[in-house]
Amino acid sequence: MTQQPLTIGVLGYRFMGKAHANALARLPMFFPDAPAVERHTLVGRDEEALAEAAERFGFAHTATDWEDALDEVDIFYNLGPNHVHAEPSIAALESGVPVLCEKPLAPTLDEAAAMRDAAADADVPAGTAFNYRFVPAIRHAKGLIEDGALGEIRQVRGRYLQDWLVDPEAPWAWRMDADLAGSGALGDLGAHTIDLANFLVGDEVGGVDRVSGHLKTFVDERPVLDDDGDVEEYRDVTVDDAYTAQVAYDSGAMGSFEASRFAAGHKNDHTIAVHGSKGSLRFSLERLNELEVLREGNRGYETVLVTDETDPYVDRWWPPGHVIGWEHTFVHESYEFLSAVAEGTEFSPSFAEGYAVQRALDAIERSDDRGEWVSVE
């Protein structure tokens, strides 16, 4: 008997909605062993824009209330702004509907804890959408670290630099409101870096013991534009434009992280480096098919092109040497999440792992507020 497709409901139809909808559309062609899915209901507030997006993304139905969608679907993708992560995700899990929620898990640590607890009580997968875990080069890097190629991990460094807010007249958006977003560059970008560090070296260095953080807002207010592009008013910016943090791990290893939406000349520059007693590696999202590796006894880094058919996920795409791109990370992520749902297994990164990142974000903010090192609670 042919299994019925899993019906998918998606909250959000802009940037992340498009990225995840594209992934769902690509799955049958490149991952034929993935569970069959139906793009069922797209959820949003603007009925006209929602209908247009549903047609483009291949969704059969629309809803302006996420509660209505939960009654109709098997799986819920929560891709809305940060302040609507908690309530719909918790409601879905309490109804037995698996959830994949975008990062950061929530604007506040308390909301993230409630989401973590709801996931622990549910008998279905709940995943945090950290898509960079699913870059083949990152998976290759994790394998090298687990195999001991770097020896004892002593330092991890990460940065995420963008420049879309360099212009002080760049328009205001929800990502600049603490009530809606929680934090600025810290949560929007830093969450990715901290999760990658947890993924790559967490088993080697233990948890984050304490942090020292510094947050900065460079432009305190920004224009709100009308439909014609004219300025209606200026609204306060209540989140950070940039952050830096020092991290002390349980093992004695150290980390340094930074992110900025004010780094002129950097469009989407996400890099992470790991240094150990026997070697080092470094990765850049701007060259996501490559991994630079320094092995013990070598004088310099070797650039490894991670596009062989034996590399993670690569055999599903093109012949060796044919590169993949940013959008493919979402395909890999959905493949793993939907497979976990179909097989009744756990998915990683889970809500618990998303909460671990939130703890670090919260500690960095508390450190900045107090002007001192703080323990991660």
Please choose, from the candidates 179, 205, 375, the residue with its C-alpha nearest in 3D space to the C-alpha of residue 276: 205
Are residue 149 and residue 296 in the same domain, yes or no? yes
Are residue 145 and residue 123 in the same domain, yes or no? no
- CATH number of 21's domain: 3.40.50.720
Peptide linkage before 168 cis (omega within 30 of 0): no
Domain boundary among 109, 132, 155: 132
Q: What is the pLDDT of residues 72-104, one digit of tens each?
A: 999 999 999 999 999 999 999 999 999 999 999
Are residue 321 and residue 201 in the same domain, yes or no? yes
In a domain, 333, yes or no: no
Please choose, from the candidates 213, 194, 208, the residue with its C-alpha nearest in 3D space to the C-alpha of residue 372: 213
Averaged pLDDT score across all residues of the chain: 96
Q: From CA 293, how far away is CA 281, in angstroms rounded?
A: 4
CB of 198 within 8 A of CB of 164? no
Residue type at position 98: P
In a domain, 285, yes or no: yes
CB of 106 within 8 A of CB of 116? no
Please list, in sequence order, all residues whose beta carbon lies within 8 angstroms of the beta carbon of residue 148, skipping any fewer than 6 positions away: 278
CB of 183 within 8 A of CB of 216? no
Q: What is the pLDDT of residues 281-301, one digit of tens each?
A: 999 999 999 999 999 999 999
What is the domain count for the chain? 2
pLDDT at 169 exceeding the cut of 90: yes
Are residue 144 and residue 258 in the same domain, yes or no? yes
What's the confidence (pLDDT) of residue 3? 74
- Residues forming beta bridges with residue 284, ordered by sequence position: 271
Are residue 165 and residue 261 in the same domain, yes or no? yes
Domain boundary among 99, 115, 132: 132
What pairing do the DSSP bridges indicate for beta strands 254-260 and 61-63? unpaired
Are residue 62 and residue 166 in the same domain, yes or no? no
Q: What is the pLDDT of residues 153-165, one digit of tens each?
A: 999 999 999 999 9
- pLDDT band (50, 70, 90) for residue 229: confident
**Sign of the alpha-carbon torsion through 44, 48, 51, 55:** negative
Q: From CA 193, how far away is CA 255, in angstroms rounded?
A: 11
In a domain, 339, yes or no: no
In a domain, 334, yes or no: no
Residue 287 tokens read as 């060259």
What's the confidence (pLDDT) of residue 228? 84
Global confidence as pTM: 0.96
What's the confidence (pLDDT) of residue 1? 39
As separate numbers, helices (DSSP H) first and strands (DSSP E) second, the chain gives 11, 17
Collapsing DSSP to helix, strand or coil, 188 comes out as: helix
Are residue 121 and residue 241 in the same domain, yes or no? no
Collapsing DSSP to helix, strand or coil, 92 comes out as: helix
CB atoms within 10 A of CB 219: 15
CB atoms within 10 A of CB 285: 18
Collapsing DSSP to helix, strand or coil, 196 comes out as: helix
